[in-house]
Amino acid sequence: MTYCVGIRVDAGLVFTSDSRTNAGVDAASMHSKMRFYGVPGERQFVLCWAGNLATTQGVVAQIERDMRDQAETSLLSVTNMGEAAEYIGALSLQEQAKNTGGGPAFQATFLIGGEIKGGQCRCYMVYAEGNYIESSVQTPFLQVGEFKYGKPILDRVLAMDTPLDQAAICSLVSMDATMRSNLTVGPPIEMYVYDAGSLQPGRYKRFEEDDGYLWDVKRAWNTRVKEAFARMPGIEWSSKDAGQQPPST
Amino acid sequence: MTYCVGIRVDAGLVFTSDSRTNAGVDAASMHSKMRFYGVPGERQFVLCWAGNLATTQGVVAQIERDMRDQAETSLLSVTNMGEAAEYIGALSLQEQAKNTGGGPAFQATFLIGGEIKGGQCRCYMVYAEGNYIESSVQTPFLQVGEFKYGKPILDRVLAMDTPLDQAAICSLVSMDATMRSNLTVGPPIEMYVYDAGSLQPGRYKRFEEDDGYLWDVKRAWNTRVKEAFARMPGIEWSSKDAGQQPPST
């Protein structure tokens, strides 16, 4: 299983992904699910993915070949982020169909974020069908893979004016919630943070299972949540609350 | 969709359920998904459920008929909580098969908690197949329905020594996270809190959508979470974090 989140706030992008693949509990192996590419001063991209490993590796390899071979369409030639998403979608469909004819078992979803000179910093999710959606002001994040456990904290915390470092910490807490509930999502955790408007490569971190900072975040969050609970408004019970029956179905 | 959680801590039980049924967004209707029964000083039960409405209503009706008719097996005759879970499982299988022959569309899952004199306070989840599991010291809660969004907060907060009122608030935060992420889970929210060892009917609350306390909990939690984030340890970036490439797949 996989969990990746792409956040786009005013200040830029945060992409965070786990590295567990093909994880029956006995056959857990690790693969990075993140890449970033760019031409300083001109364009920067970051990618994450979930789904069939052959499909995703095929897409990534083709993206890199297209750039190397200066193909007519590549991340070096697209003129806006929507075109980049469209390109990834087309590659994904092509890889899904290759050898296998396609079908649910070969599907994959991608997150692509980035910025091209003259445009804005953006974040898209590309569905297995090749179509795509963009993050919004109301929901400044997109997720692929095992997304439900980690969604509530993103919902509560993220807004367009959230500072990048806080968005980054939020993505780690979201990842931690997911790893705790689903053993097939696991470290190392990769994180890429891009400053909007810079058009320079972002900052990248890889947190191993025993990473001190990752443990600090985990511990601090657990402590804070318990503290927060101790200060929640108490329930006021009245005598009429005892021994009632709920209304009939 | 549905979300119900049953918590069993040392101090007793908290059961919390939503009331949205058959919720295409255009056809949302409300049905209680909770019942409680008992004989003061002898036995107390609380039930919640998710799944096919005909099946669950059929099971609840049969439970009530069996008690009224003093059937050989009923919640009045079972001698321990495991037997109660077994009984619900049998009724569920019977209802699923009746008229329809059964199948995934007619399935339902149940939570049953309670205490019978001479035994301990317990909480079970009954699967659609009729078999069941019990909550544990490590995981002192069980969920049915749309459970993923609301699980991380339960994981972080609940332990066997959590006071009942804190467990109750935790169930409301878990419910709020679920309602926020899934529009087909909705109020009124019902809550039943049973004091272990009392063998008396517990306290019951029904929170309507505009309930003042429910809004207080929502607001307080959002504020606390944001405060907690502002105090999380910051990420330490070093110059070597800039412009890296992730390792190859």
Domain boundaries, chain B: 3-221
For residue A238, give how far its alpha carbon lies from the nearest alpha carbon of chain B (Å). 9
pLDDT on residue B109: 98
Q: Mutate which of A62, A241, A248 to disrupt the B interface (most B C-beta within 10 Å)?
A: A241
Put simply, the answer to whether B206 touches A246 (Cβ < 8 Å) is: yes
pLDDT on residue B248: 57
pLDDT tens for each residue of chain B, 249 residues long = 899 999 999 999 999 999 988 655 666 688 899 999 999 999 999 999 999 999 999 999 999 999 999 999 999 999 999 999 999 999 999 999 998 898 999 999 999 999 999 999 999 999 999 999 999 999 999 999 999 999 999 999 999 999 999 999 999 999 999 998 888 888 899 999 999 999 999 999 999 989 999 999 999 999 999 888 888 998 988 877 876 666 654
Considering only CB atoms, which chain B residues are within 8 Å of A200? Answer: 242-243
Mean pLDDT, range A107-122, rounded to an integer: 98
SS (H, E, C) B123-145: EEEECCCCCEEECCCCCCEEEEE
Beta-bridge partners for A206 = A190
pLDDT on residue B23: 53
Put simply, the answer to whether A170 touches B36 (Cβ < 8 Å) is: no
pLDDT on residue A247: 63
Per-residue pLDDT band for A24 (boundaries 50, 70, 90) equals low
- In total, the C-beta contacts within 8 angstroms joining chain A to chain B are 171
Q: Give the CA count within 13 Å in the CB-facing half-sphere of A222.
A: 14
- The answer to whether A207 and A217 are in contact (CB under 8 A) is no
CA distance A32 to B49: 40
CA angle B106, B109, B113 (to 5 degrees): 150
A249 pLDDT above the threshold of 50: no
Q: Give the percent of chain A with pLDDT over 90.
A: 79
- Phi first, then psi: give them for residue A67, nearest 5 degrees: -70, -45
Mean pLDDT, range A132-161, rounded to an integer: 96
Per-residue pLDDT band for A1 (boundaries 50, 70, 90) equals confident
Cα–Cα nearest to B33, from B44, B47, B43, B23:
B47
pLDDT on residue A29: 80
Chain A residue with minimum CA distance to B39: A243
Whether the predicted model's global pTM rises above the 0.80 cut = yes
Considering only CB atoms, which chain B residues are within 8 Å of A233? Answer: 213, 216-217, 220
In words, the CATH class of domain A3-219 is: alpha beta
A27 pLDDT above the threshold of 70: no
CA angle B240, B241, B242 (to 5 degrees): 90
Q: What is the CATH number of domain B3-221?
A: 3.60.20.10
A84 pLDDT above the threshold of 80: yes
- β-pairing, B189-195 vs B34-39, is unpaired
Q: A78-109 burial, b for 16+ CB within 10 Å, e for fewer?
A: beebeebbbbbbebbbebbeeeeebeeebbbb
Put simply, the answer to whether A244 touches B204 (Cβ < 8 Å) is: yes
Q: Higher model confidence: residue A190 or residue B247?
A: A190
Considering only CB atoms, which chain B residues are within 8 Å of A213? Answer: 233, 235-236
Considering only CB atoms, which chain A residues are within 8 Å of B203? Answer: 237, 241-242
For residue B213, give how far its alpha carbon lies from the nearest alpha carbon of chain A (Å). 8
pLDDT on residue A248: 56
Considering only CB atoms, which chain B residues are within 8 Å of A157? Answer: 225-226, 229
Considering only CB atoms, which chain A residues are within 8 Å of B247? Answer: 32, 206
Per-residue pLDDT band for A119 (boundaries 50, 70, 90) equals very high
Chain A residue with minimum CA distance to B230: A166
